[in-house]
Amino acid sequence: MRRRTRSATAPASRAYALSVCWYLLLRLKRGEIWQSYLQLGVDLLLITWAINRTGGVDSYLSSLYFLLIVVAGILLEKRGAFLAGEYARVYDEIVAVKEACGETHLKVILETGELETYDNVRRASVLAMAAGADFIKTSTGKVQPASTLPVTLVMLEAIRDFHAQTGRMVGMKPAGGIKTSKQAISYLTTLYETLGPAWMTPEYFRFGASSLLNDVLMQIRKERTGRYSGGDYFTLD
């Protein structure tokens, strides 16, 4: 008896349909941002890669990536709602997510490069913390400007004032654009002067900057050997 095989194009077709449908949904939402166009192309390429590497749309990794697409789309939509002044709606969404998280820590990414003003950055920070965020993060790193020192200061000051009012410590993660050890020192100095030593731990402050690692490694080697090495001596991953 001849064995029936699954069409290789069927999983890809369903994956493409999922991404395109979500993209079209985003276009209908108020507050659409131009990055959704770029995101569509990235989704299609990465879905194709996931299917080819994992063997089908039903695999664990493919399913995980589809979930990430949906989560990313929700983030885009809620940022649009925030910019439209629908603060209660965004607050309720974060509260619902926090309830679903249970004891797991919740990190809220503000994507500050899209918030336009420092007032909006502070407002979004306070809203996220009041709704239950355990960590607030500047950005995904995909939108420019990503993390900047002034934006980080605004968020740190919001954390300081929130702690003074509630007694609850909230963590902070600047991400994107932090590439050198000297830049990192500037952020750590700002953190120390704004929030003090209690926040100088990985539990409450982290860098989201993968490219920073190479520079840190080069600085360590320089201290050990007395000379700098080139970037080619370290991984680019």
Q: What is the DSSP string of 68-95?
A: HHHHHHHHHHHHHHHHTT-HHHHHHHHH
Within the chain, all domains assigned CATH 3.20.20.70 are found at: 86-227
- The pLDDT tens digits of the residues spanning 100-144 come to 878 888 888 888 888 889 999 999 999 999 999 999 999 877 777
State the pLDDT at residue 221. Answer: 83
pLDDT at 198 over 50: yes
The residues near 37 (Cβ < 8 Å, ≥ 6 apart) are none
Mean pLDDT check: name the lowest of 22-36, 110-124, 208-222.
Answer: 22-36
User: How would you label 115-152 residue by residue, b for 16+ Cβ within 10 Å and e otherwise?
Assistant: beeeebbbbbbbbbbebbbbbbbbbbbebeebbbeebb
State the pLDDT at residue 131. Answer: 92
CATH class, 86-227 region: alpha beta
Angle between helices 118-130 and 87-101 (to 10 degrees): 40
The residues near 121 (Cβ < 8 Å, ≥ 6 apart) are 110, 112, 115, 151, 154, 155
